[in-house]
Chain A
Amino acid sequence: MAELLEISGLTIGYGWKGRPMVTVVRDVDLALGAGEVLGVAGESGCGKTTLALAASGLLDPPGQVLSGSVRFQGKDVLSLSPKELRGLHLSEISMVFQASMNVLNPVMRIRDQFLDAMKYHGVSDRAEAEARAREMFDLVRIPQRFFGAYPHQLSGGMRQRAVIALALVLHPKVLFLDEPTTALDVVVQRSILQMLNDLRRQLDFGVMFITHDLSLLVEIADRVAIMYAGAVVEEAPARELYEKPRHPYTEALMKAFPPLGGERRRLEGIAGQPPDLRHLPSGCSFAPRCPKVIAGTCETIEPPVVEWSQGHRAVCHLCSQEEARVV
């Protein structure tokens, strides 16, 4: 499958004047194909949002890309001029932020917020733009009567759906979703995820779905990548990850979340805190909290990247050498 979006060796840091740079994303390799859903999961602060911002060209100072590349359909996103980037946004690459309820301009009607985006991306005929926007409203199941309303007149769930509609109105090829449903209640969550699935089948865009809720990803993602302390620690097809997690962190994450459906299970948290990115421990960054830590090895030696044939890789010392091929 030709890759729509290729992230290679991306390293991102945050730097303030007079203070040392803090690396928040380390050497990340990820790929997204057309029509595919790639889930990215991890605790808060693991760098997944920063990753998405950089990949969509929206990273602002003090964040900066230190090395690596992001290729969208072969083009290097990071080297585009601001004007070219603007042309890309919304029409090719879209991002729906966390807590999108407050992302709409309070003094503009929703209709106008659709229209201005479309106008600047080449849909000059107002009637056509309005028709397409209304069509999106239907697709995300917001009643048409809210088309000319102001954001504060819609409920939180409706606003979220409006934002998603806006992100998709120009039929982009890639959609970044950063915790799109976290601030909503479970019922609305369900319906939005359902709607996203339907939309994806209809419009065939690739999705990078970022969340800390792993159980969600298992249901809707094709592949899932787990991030910890700025690096990818495991990546596999969703089903495979669910059935055979290789990295101790992945296992721990699974145990910490209740599945959306299915029987009740005892939940377990993960002991300890995520590491301070300014002072990362040597060796494996998860070692201090790892229940399966190998004393003497994990804290001192960087774990290798181990690959299995099903497109499954993990960064861990535990993985047996015979089954896998060390990369």
Chain B
Amino acid sequence: MRFLLRRLLILLLTGWAALTLNFILPRLMPGNPIEAMLARYQGKLSPQAVGALEIAFGLNTRQSAISQYFTYFGHTLTGNFGTSISYYPTKVSTIIASSLPWTIGLVGFATIIAFVVGTALGAVAGWRRGSRLDKVAVPFSVMLSAMPVFWISLLALYFLAFRLNWFPISGGIGTSQSMSISGIGSIISHAALPAITLTLVNVGGWVLLMRNSTVSVLGEDFVKFGRSKGLPERVVAYHYAARNAILPNFTAFAMALGFVVAGAIFTEYVFSYPGIAYYLLQAVLSLDYPLIQGIFLVIVVVVLLANFLADMLYVVLDPRIRTEGRS
């Protein structure tokens, strides 16, 4: 319990820090972003757009920096991210709300499948260290994780969608379909390539991590003891080796999720998949600051929450954390 409380505290602290970072970042950059925006759009910005910028940045020049900060804080907590510039007059929160589910589905799928498959494979490879499986799995996993995700997405798009027509070329759902049960088939076929490429690129990392973790657990005394009790190999492999080897993987979860989200940026871009990462990229390329800020924040919050979930799972799996014991 104490562990979870501590993690919750870190979560809140990190969230606050990220928020502040979001506030500070544009101010650190050379030049005033609003002036830069005005210059770029050469005065075509309406007063409302400028107002949207001000809300997003908290850059109300009539206020002091401190009160700007608090205004910004207040706005953020109430979900007021202002209005998008490139998609004017749509509000940032609307864009986020409509695109977030797509990304969560994609990223969620990729993360979970990559984790499950990668960990399982890594455990077997580590258990049978030095075997042919291990000797093949390791370099193969290294290669997979060195694969640029945008490249494999491009190739998949070109060969499987464009040339072979097995999958649609872009979008989240067919234009004639609706977001309902009947549209599920279309949703899946549109999500297939992005999901597969994203998973592929992330599997390797888990394989290597779990393999190394298993190998080092196998050297522990309690594994040898488990064997010396005369237990069958698969019992030792699962209850003694794997159950212990998987623990460090949860601490690596933070990094892993970050990678998947980052990878999603590329995948959604290449496949024109209407997720939040896609819009982030559009926002960045068109310098739509309110949208950038809004999405950035949401990404951070979601990643933080996912991490907290992973922490909770960790507590369930490692009794040493759960029960304050004496050593």
Tell me if A105 counts as interface (CB < 8 A to partner B). yes
CA distance A86 to B247 in the complex (A): 28
CA distance A50 to B32 in the complex (A): 74
Quick one: which of B229, B239, B244, B323 contacts A150, CB cutoff 8 A?
B323
Q: Does A153 contact B326, Cβ atoms closer than 8 Å? A: yes
Question: Which chain B residue lies CB-closest to A105?
Answer: B222
CA distance A121 to B232 in the complex (A): 10
Q: Does A86 contact B323, Cβ atoms closer than 8 Å? A: no
Quick one: which of A86, A88, A99, A108 contacts B232, CB cutoff 8 A?
A86
Q: Does B320 contact A152, Cβ atoms closer than 8 Å? A: yes
CA distance A104 to B228 in the complex (A): 12
| Closest chain A CB from B239 CB (angstroms) | 6
Quick one: which of A88, A116, A152 contacts B239, CB cutoff 8 A?
A116
Q: Among A90-98, A218-226, A307-315, which stretch is in contact with chain B?
A: A90-98
Question: Which chain B residue lies CB-closest to A117?
Answer: B229
Quick one: which of A90, A100, A105 contacts B240, CB cutoff 8 A?
A105
Q: Which residues does chain B contribute within 8 Å of A106, judged by CB atoms?
A: 222, 244, 318-320
Tell me if B225 counts as interface (CB < 8 A to partner A). yes
Q: Mark A142-165, 1 if CB is under 8 A from B, else 0.
A: 000000001011010000000100
Q: Mark B91-129, 1 if CB is under 8 A from A, else 0.
A: 000000000000000000000000000000000000000
Q: Given that A120-B230, A153-B323 are contacting pairs, would A97 and B243 also be in contact in the complex, using a CB cutoff of 8 Å?
A: no
Question: Which chain A residue lies CB-closest to B231?
Answer: A120
Tell me if A87 counts as interface (CB < 8 A to partner B). yes
Quick one: which of A103, A109, A121 contacts B230, CB cutoff 8 A?
A121
Tell me if B15 counts as interface (CB < 8 A to partner A). no
Tell me if A107 counts as interface (CB < 8 A to partner B). yes
Q: Which residues does chain A contribute within 8 Å of B222, judged by CB atoms?
A: 102-106
Q: Which of B291-327 contact A (CB under 8 A)?
A: 317-320, 323, 325-327
Question: Which chain A residue lies CB-closest to B247?
Answer: A107
CA distance A89 to B221 in the complex (A): 17
| Closest chain B CB from A155 CB (angstroms) | 7
Q: B220, B221, B225, B317 — which one has the most chain A CB atoms within 10 A of its CB?
A: B225
Q: Does B318 contact A107, Cβ atoms closer than 8 Å? A: yes
Tell me if B51 counts as interface (CB < 8 A to partner A). no
CA distance A166 to B225 in the complex (A): 11
Q: Mark B218-246, 1 if CB is under 8 A from A, else 0.
A: 00111011111111100100011001100
CA distance A43 to B232 in the complex (A): 35
Q: Which residues does chain B contribute within 8 Å of A100, judged by CB atoms?
A: 225
CA distance A166 to B222 in the complex (A): 13
Q: Does B231 contact A103, Cβ atoms closer than 8 Å? A: no
Task: Give the size of the chain A interface in residues (CB under 8 angstroms).
Answer: 31
Q: Does A120 contact B319, Cβ atoms closer than 8 Å? A: no
Q: Does A89 contact B230, Cβ atoms closer than 8 Å? A: yes
Q: Does A152 contact B327, Cβ atoms closer than 8 Å? A: yes
Q: Does B320 contact A89, Cβ atoms closer than 8 Å? A: no
Q: Which residues does chain A contribute within 8 Å of B229, judged by CB atoms?
A: 89-90, 116-117, 120, 166
Q: Does B228 contact A116, Cβ atoms closer than 8 Å? A: no
CA distance A155 to B239 in the complex (A): 23
Q: Which residues does chain A contribute within 8 Å of B320, judged by CB atoms?
A: 106, 150, 152
Q: Does A105 contact B230, Cβ atoms closer than 8 Å? A: no
Tell me if A22 counts as interface (CB < 8 A to partner B). no
Q: Does B319 contact A150, Cβ atoms closer than 8 Å? A: yes
Question: Which chain A residue lies CB-closest to B320?
Answer: A152
Tell me if A58 counts as interface (CB < 8 A to partner B). yes
Quick one: which of B224, B230, B244 contacts A86, CB cutoff 8 A?
B230
Q: Which residues does chain B contribute within 8 Å of A166, judged by CB atoms?
A: 229
Q: Which residues does chain A contribute within 8 Å of B239, judged by CB atoms?
A: 105, 108, 116
CA distance A100 to B221 in the complex (A): 8
Question: Which chain B residue lies CB-closest to A91?
Answer: B230
CA distance A155 to B326 in the complex (A): 7
CA distance A47 to B123 in the complex (A): 34
Q: Which residues does chain B contribute within 8 Å of A117, judged by CB atoms?
A: 229-231
Q: Does B325 contact A152, Cβ atoms closer than 8 Å? A: yes
| Closest chain A CB from B125 CB (angstroms) | 19
CA distance A157 to B185 in the complex (A): 62
Q: Given that A105-B239, A150-B325 are contacting pairs, would A99 and B319 also be in contact in the complex, using a CB cutoff of 8 Å?
A: no
Question: Which chain B residue lies CB-closest to A83?
Answer: B232
Q: Does B230 contact A88, Cβ atoms closer than 8 Å? A: yes
CA distance A90 to B226 in the complex (A): 11
Question: Which chain B residue lies CB-closest to A101?
Answer: B221
Question: Which chain B residue lies CB-closest to A103?
Answer: B225
Q: Does A105 contact B325, Cβ atoms closer than 8 Å? A: no
Question: Which chain A residue lies CB-closest to B322?
Answer: A150
Question: Which chain A residue lies CB-closest to B235?
Answer: A116
Residues of A near any B CB (own CB < 8 A): 56, 58, 85-91, 95, 97, 99-100, 102-109, 116-117, 120-121, 150, 152-153, 155, 163, 166
Pull 18 A–B residue pairs with CB atoms less than 8 Å apart, ordered by A. Answer: A56-B228, A58-B227, A88-B230, A89-B229, A89-B230, A90-B228, A90-B230, A97-B221, A102-B221, A105-B240, A105-B243, A106-B320, A116-B239, A117-B229, A120-B231, A150-B325, A152-B319, A152-B325
Inter-chain pairs besides A105-B244, A108-B239, 6 sampled, C-beta below 8 Å: A58-B224, A104-B222, A105-B240, A116-B235, A117-B230, A150-B325
Residues of B near any A CB (own CB < 8 A): 220-222, 224-232, 235, 239-240, 243-244, 247, 317-320, 323, 325-327
